[in-house]
Chains A and B, each alone.
Chain A
Amino acid sequence: MRHLMSPLDLSVDELDELLNLANDIEKHPEKYAHACDGKKLATCFYEPSTRTRLSFEAAMLNLGGSVLGFASADSSSAAKGESVSDTIRIISCYADICAMRHPKEGAPLVASQKSRIPVINAGDGGHQHPTQTLTDLLTIRSLKGRLDNMTIGLCGDLKFGRTVHSLINALIRYPGIRFVLISPEELKIPSYIREDVLKAKQIPFTEVERLEDAIPELDVLYMTRVQKERFFNEEDYVRLKDFYILTREKLSLAKEDMLVLHPLPRVNEISVEVDDDPRAVYFKQAQYGVYVRMALILTLLGISVE
C-alpha cells in the first residue's frame, strides 16, 4: 500500500505516468465516471481549507465514489483529545482512502504508519503540500508541453511559501531548469534551499528584488500570497503584502507565451485586470488540481481503467 507524503515520493517516471493519466482524464472524463463506484474518500481536515478539501471531494465524486469527513478540528474527535494515530485507525474502518490536512507538521506521516488505507498529505503546516505541487507540474506540463529547459520565476513570499519550496525540489529533477527568485529581502528563500538544494545541485538561479526586471526572460511566473498567518506581527505583514503586485503594465513586459500560476487564494498580488489575459492560467490550474487528484486517487487505490 502506498501513501503520498511529499511530491518526491514519486519517481520522475511515476510522476510522468500520473500526469499522463491526469491528461487522459481531462480528455475523456466519461471513461472514468464510474471508476470508483462504491469507494469512499475520507477528508480529515484538522484546519479549514475549502479549496483543497472541495478539490479532493470533487475528484472523488467525478470518479463515481462518495466522500465523508470533517472540515475542522473542532468538529472532529481531536477536540476530545484523540490522537491522529487513533483517528486514522477508525477512519480505516469507514473509508477506502484518506486525504488529511493538519496544522502540525508530520501528522499525515504519523497517520500513514497506523493506517490500513492509503493516506494523502493534503497539507501539514508549513511542511509539505504535495497535491499542490502535482497540480503545478500538471499545469506547466499540459500548457507548455514539457517540464525541462525553462526559466521559472518565483515571486513573493519565498521564505514561508511551502508551495515554492516543493516546486523547486520537484523541478530540479528535470534538465535545463533555471530559477529567478523575486522577493523582498525579508521574504527571501531560506538558506537551506539556496545552499543545500540549488547550490549543492548546481542549479542556475538569480535573486532579484524587482518583478519588472525579471519578467521579460521568464517562461513561467509563479506568484505567491504573502500569508498573514506566517507573520508574528501585523505591522510587518501590512508593510510587505503589497510589495509584488502583478499588473497589466508589468505583464506587458513578459513573453507572449509566459504562464502566470498562483496556488490561490490570491489577495491582491495579481490585479484582477490580468485575469482575462490568456497567460493568466491560475483558474485553469485549479481545474488541473481536480484532474491530478483524480489520477492520484486511482493510482493509490490501484484502479486502472481500460
Chain B
Amino acid sequence: MLNISGIHEGFVLDHIQAGMSLQIYHDLKLDRLDCTVAIIKNAKSNKMGKKDILKVECPIEALDLDILGFIDHNITVNVIKNDKIVAKKELQLPKQVKNVIKCKNPRCITSIEQELDQIFILTDPRKEVYRCKYCEEKYTNPNRR
C-alpha cells in the first residue's frame, strides 16, 4: 500500500481515467508551478476499476478549471483548505478553449499564421463537439466517456 500524506491547501483531482494523469499534469502546466505534486497512477477504484489521482499543494486560483473541463469533465475536483475538503467543484464543458489544442486542417489560416490563438468553440454540447473558430474543422475529444 502506497501512502501519500494529505495536503494543507490545494486540490485533489480524483477519478481521472487511468493513464491520463501525466497528460493532465502537462495540460494544466503543473510543471511550471513551484509546488508539491503527487501523481498517483492506477489506483484501485470501485467505480472505474483503475483510476489516476493528482494531488497538488498550491493556491486554488492556480488551477484553470476550463482546461480541465475540456480534457475530461467527469474528473472530481476536491478543494482543500486547512487539511479539509471545503468544496467539490463540478466541471463543465467550457464554451471556448484557447491554445489547448491545435487545428489540424492544413487549409486553416492558423496553419500559416502561427501567432494566431488556437480557439475552439463548443458547437454541440451533447456530442461534445468543438470546432475551430476560423475554419470550423471538427474536434472530437478522444477522452470522451
A contact set with B: CB distance below 8 Å: 83-85, 102-107, 109-110, 124-127, 192, 196
Main secondary structure, interface of A, reads mixed
Q: Are B138 and A84 in contact (CB under 8 A)?
A: no
Q: Any chain A CB within 8 A of the CB of B107?
A: yes
Q: Please tell me the number of chain B residues within 8 Å of chain A, measured between CB atoms.
A: 18
Q: Are B138 and A106 in contact (CB under 8 A)?
A: no
B contact set with A: CB distance below 8 Å: 105, 107-113, 115-116, 124, 132-138
- State whether A105 and B115 are in contact (beta carbons under 8 Å apart), knowing that A84-B109, A110-B109 are contacts in the complex: no
Q: Are B112 and A106 in contact (CB under 8 A)?
A: no
Q: Are A106 and B115 in contact (CB under 8 A)?
A: no
CA distance A71 to B2 in the complex (A): 68
Contacts of A84 in B (CB 8 A): 109, 113
Contacts of B135 in A (CB 8 A): 105-106, 124-125, 127
Partner of A104, one of B111, B115, B136, B138: B111
Q: Which of B109, B115, B134 has the most CB of A within 10 A?
A: B109
- B71 CB to nearest chain A CB (Å): 24
Contacts of B134 in A (CB 8 A): 105-107, 109-110
22 contacting pairs across A/B (C-beta < 8 A): A83-B115, A85-B116, A104-B107, A104-B108, A104-B109, A105-B105, A105-B107, A105-B108, A105-B109, A105-B135, A106-B109, A106-B132, A106-B135, A107-B109, A110-B113, A124-B109, A125-B107, A126-B107, A127-B107, A127-B136, A192-B138, A196-B124
CA distance A103 to B105 in the complex (A): 13
Identity of the chain A residue whose Cβ is nearest the Cβ of B108 in the assembled complex:
A105
Contacts of A126 in B (CB 8 A): 107
Contacts of B116 in A (CB 8 A): 85, 110
- B132 CB to nearest chain A CB (Å): 7
